[in-house]
Structure 1
Amino acid sequence: MRVRVDEDRCAGHGMCLTLCPEVFEMTDDGWAVADPGEIPASLEAATREAIDNCPERAISEID
């Protein structure tokens, strides 16, 4: 599993960081970014929760 954050949709709420800080972080400008690598299986549930709870629907799973 890999994810990306659409920088045009992200509003900087930080919900993803709260739910899964191992995968997401906030830039100095206040926008979320995701680790570009493969997400470990142990973090997939938390990552999916972050995807489902993003108010702007800015996070998507990629192949």
Structure 2
Amino acid sequence: MRIVVDRDRCMGHAVCALMAPDLMELDDLGYNVTGEAKVEPADEALARRAAGACPEGAIAVVDAHA
């Protein structure tokens, strides 16, 4: 699986980084700059939790087969 972050939708709440700090990259202002990243199987639950916690819905979880 992978995560895809819509940087234009991110409002810098940084909730994603609280949920999955090892998966999310933030700039100095708290905006998610991850872009697109592969998620290891052991981190899939964290990735889904981070995506679900984003108030703006800026993080999509994409199945590797999609």
Measured against the shorter chain, the TM-score band is 0.7 to 0.9
- The answer for unaligned runs of 5 or more in structure 2 is none
Contact 1:2 1:39 in 2 (8 A): yes
| Aligned-residue identity in percent | 38
Name the amino acid aligned to 1:2: R
Alignment of 1:44-59 (within 5 A): 44-59=44-59
1:1-63 matched pairs, under 5 angstroms? 1-34=1-34, 36-62=36-62, 63=66
CA-based RMSD of the aligned residues comes to 1.7
How many pairs align? 63
Distance 2:42 2:52 in 1: 17
Identify the range of structure 1 (41-50 vs 30-39) with the bigger mean alpha-carbon deviation. 30-39
Q: TM-score, structure 2 length as denominator? A: 0.81
- Aligned partner of residue 34 in structure 1, secondary structure: coil
When the two structures are superposed, what TM-score results if normalisation uses the length of structure 1?
A: 0.84
Gaps of 5+ in 1: none
